[in-house]
Amino acid sequence: MDPGEYDACTYCGKTIFPGVAECPYCHHYTDGKGPLGTDAEEPRKLSPLYVTVGWVLVILTVLPLLWALWRAFTR
């Protein structure tokens, strides 16, 4: 089946004709804002991987500074 010929309802996931305003199965409007929609206008959440890498970079930057300060004050 050519995926270009059919569309999937973003609410119930059933195959519907593209361009229809209302899903014939669940009667939701096919505006792409359903739970299965990919273009929902929610703010993108940061991937946990990026958060972890960011924290590692911060720690790697701050730790030598703290170490140098500690060495300077304890000498």
Does position 10 bind Zn ion by CB under 5 A?
Answer: no
Q: What is the DSSP letter of 33?
A: -
Among 8, 26, 32, 37, contact with Zn ion (rule: CB under 5 A): 26
Tell me whether residue 15 or residue 52 sits nearer to Zn ion (CB atom): 15
48 vs 8: CA distance, rounded Å: 29
Does position 9 bind Zn ion by CB under 5 A?
Answer: yes
Does position 25 bind Zn ion by CB under 5 A?
Answer: yes
In total, the chain counts a number of residues equal to 75
Does position 12 bind Zn ion by CB under 5 A?
Answer: yes
Where helices occur in 1-75 by DSSP H, the ranges are 48-74
β-bridge partners, 29? 22
Does position 6 bind Zn ion by CB under 5 A?
Answer: no
Q: Under the rule (CB under 5 A), what is the footprint of Zn ion?
A: 9, 11-12, 23, 25-26
